Structures are given as C-alpha cells and as structure tokens.
Amino acid sequence: MSECEGRVALVTGITGQDGSYLAELLLDKGYTVHGIVRRSSCFNTGRIDHLYRDRHDTQVKLFLHYGDLCDASNLITIISSVKPDEIYNLGAMSHVKVSFDMPEYTADCDGLGVLRMLDAVRAAGLEQSVKFYQASTSELYGKVQEVPQSETTPFYPRSPYAVAKQYAFWILVNYREAYGMHLTNGILFNHESPRRGRTFVTRKITCAVAAIKEKQQKTLYLGNLDAKRDWGHARDYVEGMWMMLQQETSDDYVLATGETHTVREFVELAFAAVDITVKWKGEFGTIDEIGVDADNEDHILVKIDPRYFRPTEVELLLGDPTKAKEKLGWTSSTPFPDLVKEMVKEDLAMVRGTSVDPEKLLD
C-alpha cells in the first residue's frame, strides 16, 4: 500500500505547469486527487490528460470539477463535497506582464480568490482539519531590498500580480493567527520545465531555439536580457510543496536554487544546446543590441522588442533556501544547465513532431 493511501487532496490550477507535476506526485503517493478546472471553449487539460481515467473505472483516483477562484459559491460546494485533507491553491493569473493589462481581474483571482478559498474551508467546517498550501512567490521581493532573499526579507511588490499575491500572503497569515488554521505560504522562486507556458521567457526561448534550429523561425524577439532569475525545475518544487504540508505546524518557506542567471545567459545556453553560438553586437543593454550566429553573422538570432519591457521590472531574484533545507530536508536537485538542455531537447522533439523518451533526456 502506498504511504498516503486514503488521503484526499484538492488542487486548484491542476491544468497548469505545477498542477500537473503535483497531481502526478500525489497520485504516485496514493492520494485521491480532486482538481478544479475552468470551463473553456477548447480543451485545457493537455498537461494532465495522461493521468485521467474514465470515471466509470473502479480504480479512478483523479476527479475534475468545473470551478473558478472568482466564484465563491462554487468553491464552497466543491470543498464541502470533497472534504479534502490537503488543499494546494495553485490557481492564478500567473503572468506578471499580463497583470499590467488586467490588474482588476488579477487582484480578484490571485488576491480575493485566496480569501474565498479560506472562507469556503471555514464554511465547510474543515478549518481545524485541512492543511492548506498557498502558491506565493519571489515576486513579492520585487525591488531589491536585500540579496539573497529569505523568509525575513521585506516585500516590495512591483506589479499588480505581486501586489495581489502580497494580499494573499497576508490574509493567509492573518487566518492562521486568527483561527489557528494550518496554512502555509510557499514563497517559490521561478521554476520551469518542458510544461512551462510558452509566453514565459524560458519556454519562449527554448521553443524559438528549436524552431530556429529547424529553420521554421528566423529571429527571437525579447525584452530585458539582463533581468536575473533563480531558476529551478518545477518537478523538484512540487515535492517541496508536499513536504510543507506534512509538517505538524504551518509556516512560510522559500524554495530556490541559491543561484541566479540572466535571461542573456539562458539564451546563450539554449542556443549552445543545438550547437549555435550567439555573438552579441551593438551597444550592450540597449534596444539596439542584437545576437547573431557566430558562424554566420548575417543571421540575426535575437532582437530586442520594447513591447516586452514591463512598466516596472524586477531586476534581481536570488533565493536563500536554508530554512527549507533545515526544516523540510528539501533541496533543488536539477542543475541550471540540465534544466535548459531538457527544455530545448523536448521542444526540438515537438518541433520535429516526435516525442522524447524521458530516460534519454539528459544524454
């Protein structure tokens, strides 16, 4: 029998990058997993289709429910009927740049959505039994106050997304103190994978590198090449989420690699993975800078498009995961070059229309 047989988890955002890896982890451990899925005119379950089984199958362990973080009565109905032991609140409008275009919706979904979830737990009478994980973020650190950033670093959010997530962070702390609930904020630094949404910079780069290698695209347009991020692998980070909810008392934890790299370095490594060397030309750090193929300088691989600049940028994120290591025994286990290579390799296979044997990803 698996170690967590009989336990019930509810995951919001199950169709997203992290939701799909977390669902795999929980099912592997023997949980029954319920996920909240938004109604969409197209199928939006591509990342979890491999986990889904016909509801009429007696062995079924994954159940999906239509719902939305902006719909309180729907959340109360789902939580009251599922009666989960653990809730992972991963659902969010998660794109920082888009939050400047949709600030009110972002506040509603990412801020008030968390309040709705917590009140739904209370309405269901589960406040003393449920363990609740909130997907908090390194974006809270925003404008640099201190490096590296840890659980004690002051917040200075720099986007409507981060401001909404800061509300979520504090409402969780308040409900923990007010009602003695088991509520945990995981302050996660960037984590990526071949399942990352294609408008986030890492996946945008790896998709473009694969398409350029296969001569299906000529040039990659990017914004700020000098932003620095602490990038880990999503598979490692969902394990940390689970570990947080296995603790007797709830707390807040940073998950990070402890290394930071520029977008520029990511670009260079991604092209190197397909044997292309990028040579930078033009004035460094300006919109005139370009990246060309060192073996054929007429081929412009990278150009700057100011459309991708943000009204306020987060220049440097570097996390200190010491607390998670000491209290949870968690560490990030995927080296940065391996992450980049895995993403490029999968995207190359996608562009070529083949699938990749996961065992061979890191040859």
- List residues near ligand NDP by CB under 6 A: 12-13, 15-19, 36, 38, 40, 44, 68-70, 90-94, 109, 135, 137, 188, 190-191, 197
SS3 203: helix
Catalytic residue among 86, 139, 239, 346: 139
Closest distance of CB 105 from ligand NDP, Å: 8
Catalytic residue among 12, 15, 106, 137: 137
Concerning whether 139 is annotated as a catalytic residue, the answer is yes
Would you say 80 and 124 are in contact if contact means Cβ atoms under 8 Å apart?
yes
Helix axes 263-272, 201-213, angle to 10 degrees: 30
Q: Which is nearer to ligand NDP, 156 or 280 (CB)?
A: 156
Site string for ligand GDR, 213-242 (x = CB under 6 A): ---------xxx--x-x-------------
Closest distance of CB 301 from ligand GDR, Å: 14
Would you say 257 and 332 are in contact if contact means Cβ atoms under 8 Å apart?
yes
If one asks whether residue 139 binds ligand GDR (CB under 6 A), the answer comes out as: yes
If one asks whether residue 310 binds ligand GDR (CB under 6 A), the answer comes out as: yes
Residue 80 in tokens:
């009251």
279-308: contacts with ligand GDR (CB under 6 A): 308
Size of the site for ligand GDR (CB under 6 A): 22
DSSP conformation class of 58? T
If one asks whether residue 313 binds ligand GDR (CB under 6 A), the answer comes out as: yes
Would you say 150 and 254 are in contact if contact means Cβ atoms under 8 Å apart?
yes
Cα-based distances in Å from 258 to 97, 136, 335 = 25, 18, 11
Concerning whether 137 is annotated as a catalytic residue, the answer is yes
> Dihedrals φ, ψ of 269, to 5°?
-65, -40
User: Contacts by 240-243 with C-beta closer than 8 Å and gap 24+?
Assistant: 240/186, 240/188, 240/324, 240/328, 240/330, 241/18, 241/22, 241/88, 241/133, 241/135, 241/186, 242/22, 242/25, 242/26, 242/29, 243/324, 243/328, 243/329, 243/330
Concerning whether 106 is annotated as a catalytic residue, the answer is no
* Binding-site partner at residue 68 among ligand NDP, ligand GDR, none, CB < 5 to 8 Å by type: ligand NDP
Q: Which is nearer to ligand NDP, 73 or 128 (CB)?
A: 73
Q: Which is nearer to ligand GDR, 44 or 199 (CB)?
A: 199
Q: Which is nearer to ligand GDR, 273 or 302 (CB)?
A: 302
Q: How far apart are CA 45 and CA 150, in angstroms?
A: 34
Catalytic residue among 21, 31, 161, 253: 161
Nearest residue to the partner ligand GDR, using Cβ:
227
Residue 219 in tokens:
């040039």
173-192: contacts with ligand GDR (CB under 6 A): 190
Q: How far apart are CA 278 and CA 270, in angstroms?
A: 10
List active site positions.
137, 139, 161
Give me the residues that bind ligand GDR (CB under 6 A), please.
94, 96-97, 137-139, 190, 199-202, 204, 222-224, 227, 229, 263, 308, 310, 313-314
